[in-house]
Amino acid sequence: MDLDLDRDGPALTAQLVDVPSVSGEEGPLADAIEAALRPLAHLTVSRDGQTIVARTELGRAERVILAGHIDTVPVAGNLPSRAEGSRLYGCGTSDMKAGVAVQLRLAAHLPAPSRDVTYVFYECEEVAAERNGLLRLSRAAPGLLAGDFAVLMEPSAGQIEGGCQGTLRAEVTAAGKRAHTARAWMGRNAIHEAGDILAVLRAYVPREPEVDGLRYHEGLNAVAIRGGVAGNVVPDECLVTVNYRFAPDLDGQQAEDVVRALFPAWPVTVIDVTEGARPGLGHPAAAAFVATVGAGLGPPRAKLGWTDVARFAAHGIPAVNYGPGLPELAHTAGEYVETAAIADCEARLRAWLGALQGSHQAFTEPFAKRLTGPGLRRARSASCAGSRWRPPSRPTPRRRGDTRP
- 48 catalytic? Reply is no
125 is catalytic: yes
Q: Which of 71, 126, 148, 275 is catalytic?
A: 71
Write down the catalytic residue from 95, 116, 123, 125.
Answer: 125
SS3 annotation, the chain: CCCCCCCCHHHHHHHHHCCCCECCCCHHHHHHHHHHHCCCCCCEEEEECCEEEEECCCCCCCEEEEEEECCECCCCCCCCCEEECCEEECCCHHHHHHHHHHHHHHHHHCCCCCCEEEEEEECCCCCCHHHCHHHHHHHHCHHHHCCCEEEECCCCCCCCEECECEEEEEEEEEECECEEHHHHHHCECHHHHHHHHHHHHHHCCCCCCEECCEECCCEEEEEEEEECCCCCEECCEEEEEEEEEECCCCCHHHHHHHHHHHCCCCCEEEEEEECCECCCCCCHHHHHHHHHHCCCCCCCEECCCCCCHHHHHCCCCCEEECCCCCHHHCCCCCCEEEHHHHHHHHHHHHHHCCCCCCHHHHCCHHHHCCCCCCCCCCCCCCCCCCCCCCCCCCCCCCCCCCCCC
- Residues forming the active site: 71, 125
